[in-house]
Amino acid sequence: MKTVKCTTRIKLKNILLATDLSEASLHAARYAISLTPKNGGKLYAAHVIFLDALVLAHPEAIDRILKEGTHYAECALDELLAPARRQKLPCEALVGVGDITNVLRGFVEKYEADLVVVGTSSRAGLGKVFLGSVAEEIIRDAPCPVLTVGANAAGMTAQDIESILCAIDFSQESLHPSEYAFFPQEHKAHLVLLHVVEGSMDEPPSHAVQLLSQALRELISLQAKLFYEPEIVVTGGPVADRILELAAKRSAHLIVMGVRGVGAFASQASRFASIAHKAISRSQCPVLTTGMGKGSPPSPISVQIIVGFDSDPEDVFDRQVEFIQESAIPIAMVGLLQALPGTQLYRRLGREGRLVFDANGNNIECNLSFIPTMSAQRLLDGYRSILKRIYAPDAYYERVRRFLDRYHPTIRMRRSLSDYLALCRSVVKQGILGDARASYWKFLIDAATRYHHAFGAAVTLAIMGYHFYVVTEKVCQTD
């Protein structure tokens, strides 16, 4: 595999081990200790006494129970941290009382934790750590990445990492894959980037694979160089199943994924158990999850739209453009309906005598494999009009601005030399040689002033928009 020069090293500093003092905490503690840097870092072991557990206690006994519980927790945490102290690692025990997620969030913010580590005690799910459902809240709402160490990974440590699988769905949470998968640089690990097109297809159309692979390469090109050239994989099917299957095939020692994505993982991502929970509960290795933090609603960065259904009205094209613009969804992958052999649609159109030829799965080319209910020319013209309007530079940049208005990342991003090189290439290609120079510079100035909190994301979206603008130009030139 090709080796590339590493231009920057992303390091963890402060790590928070969230523990319920169960047996699962032991392997999570070992992993957390192995991650804690020996110079400049600190490990915090935190336990929260849940007040709801005292509702049946006599009022006069509550203070005594809390005092005894705090003393027990402090002793247990000291024992848990003993291996760290033997290694002369800076560490501290924290005991809080109250709502578990709120207390832990307060610890993360107060001690500026870069990572939260939790353990799970069951192969079937999140187990009993933090009463199960609370663990899910921690993973979803923590203001920093959360590393979950399950029973299957009980013997692993950070030093074992040689292969990392990073699942990308083009949502905000997975927009910066190599920044989230910060371990490759420290451990010279191989990085595999995976995008799953959710559905029943095991093999997505070739054009979709090509477009998505290119988008992944452009994303990774903005991040720090890794020791090894990342592997790009695009596949289809149930998302969690495909993640776990590829992790097993590549013998991954770590899985990285977002927990609130609404891109290709969108249809069920609002329910934690649909994807992230399945991956965590069944994974043979630790899982690093990234979210937006409590109070920051998820915002879609991509959507897939198909036109050409029998039920589409004449104004469907205007409606789709209006929806995309009003929803402030930057990346919209629009395609023509395809009747793929073996599908129910294919059989129905065959019975109706409306099939023209067998579709090849390329739904961005202006070729209709069936006779639509509306005029074929009207459908093709409308499809082209959607692409032209949504990827017209002014319309696209305005959409991204509205997206950035509600995009407030909580993950602290460290910029590398490769980030600035990507910006320079973008300036040359789009700001000097591009046809939409004026629109580009206006957007870039806005990104540096109004959206400086998300400047990296703004540049990434500008580059991706240019890519889809070029694709649109090619599509609209075909007959």
Give phi and psi for 38, each to the nearest 5: -75, -20
Q: How many residues does the chain have?
A: 479
**Res. 151: pLDDT tops 60:** yes
Judgement on whether residues 195 and 280 belong to the same structural domain of the protein: yes
Range from 36-50, 105-119, 137-151 that averages highest in pLDDT = 105-119
Judgement on whether residues 305 and 294 belong to the same structural domain of the protein: no
Q: Kindly report the pTM of this predicted structure.
A: 0.61
Query: Which one has a higher pLDDT value, 138 or 100?
Result: 100
The whole-angstrom separation of Cα 124 and Cα 278 is: 9
Query: According to the model, what pLDDT value does residue 124 have?
Result: 39
Query: According to the model, what pLDDT value does residue 472 have?
Result: 87
Q: Is residue 422 part of a domain?
A: yes
pLDDT per position as a tens digit, 418-452: 778 888 999 999 999 999 999 999 999 999 999 88
* 230: confidence class by pLDDT, cuts 50, 70, 90: confident
Write out the H or E segment, with its range, that includes residue 166.
Answer: strand 163-167
CATH code of the domain containing 91: 3.40.50.620
**Res. 128: pLDDT tops 80:** no
**Res. 473: pLDDT tops 70:** yes
**Res. 122: pLDDT tops 60:** no
Judgement on whether residues 22 and 135 belong to the same structural domain of the protein: yes
Torsion of CA 205, 209, 210, 213, to 10 degrees: 170
Strand partners, 45: 17, 93
Q: Is residue 363 part of a domain?
A: yes
End-of-domain residue from the set 242, 264, 298: 298
Q: Is residue 277 part of a domain?
A: yes
End-of-domain residue from the set 334, 364, 390: 390
- Do 319 and 336 form a contact (C-beta atoms < 8 A)? no
**Res. 183: pLDDT tops 90:** no
Judgement on whether residues 277 and 198 belong to the same structural domain of the protein: yes
Q: Is residue 93 part of a domain?
A: yes
Judgement on whether residues 292 and 331 belong to the same structural domain of the protein: no
Query: According to the model, what pLDDT value does residue 138 have?
Result: 72
The whole-angstrom separation of Cα 71 and Cα 365 is: 68
Mean pLDDT of 222-245: 76
Judgement on whether residues 20 and 144 belong to the same structural domain of the protein: yes
Q: Burial, 88: exposed, middle or buried (Cβ in 10 Å; 0-12, 13-18, 19+)?
A: exposed
Query: According to the model, what pLDDT value does residue 99 have?
Result: 78
Q: Is residue 5 part of a domain?
A: no
Judgement on whether residues 179 and 275 belong to the same structural domain of the protein: yes
Which residues of 179-261 form beta strands (DSSP E)?
Answer: 190-197, 231-236, 254-258
pLDDT per position as a tens digit, 331-371: 888 888 888 887 888 889 999 999 998 876 666 677 888 99
Range from 57-66, 181-190, 292-301 that averages highest in pLDDT = 57-66
* 221: confidence class by pLDDT, cuts 50, 70, 90: low
Judgement on whether residues 144 and 36 belong to the same structural domain of the protein: yes
pLDDT per position as a tens digit, 260-306: 533 333 333 333 445 777 788 788 899 888 765 544 444 456 677 88
Q: Is residue 110 part of a domain?
A: yes
Torsion of CA 266, 133, 108, 279, to 10 degrees: -50
**Res. 257: pLDDT tops 50:** yes
Mean pLDDT of 122-143: 53
* 233: confidence class by pLDDT, cuts 50, 70, 90: confident
| Average model confidence (pLDDT) across the chain | 77
Q: Is residue 2 part of a domain?
A: no
Query: According to the model, what pLDDT value does residue 211 have?
Result: 62
Judgement on whether residues 410 and 371 belong to the same structural domain of the protein: no
Judgement on whether residues 184 and 72 belong to the same structural domain of the protein: no
Q: Is residue 4 part of a domain?
A: no
Range of the domain at 312: 299-390
In order of 157, 300, 314, 332, the CA distances from 381 in angstroms are: 57, 27, 12, 18
pLDDT per position as a tens digit, 399-426: 999 888 877 665 555 666 777 888 899 9
Query: According to the model, what pLDDT value does residue 373 have?
Result: 93
Query: Which one has a higher pLDDT value, 137 or 293?
Result: 137
Low-confidence winner among 12-26, 73-87, 263-277, 382-396 (lowest mean pLDDT): 263-277
Judgement on whether residues 226 and 150 belong to the same structural domain of the protein: no
Total domain count, the chain? 4
Query: According to the model, what pLDDT value does residue 129 have?
Result: 41
The whole-angstrom separation of Cα 338 and Cα 424 is: 39
End-of-domain residue from the set 298, 333, 351: 298
Judgement on whether residues 285 and 240 belong to the same structural domain of the protein: yes
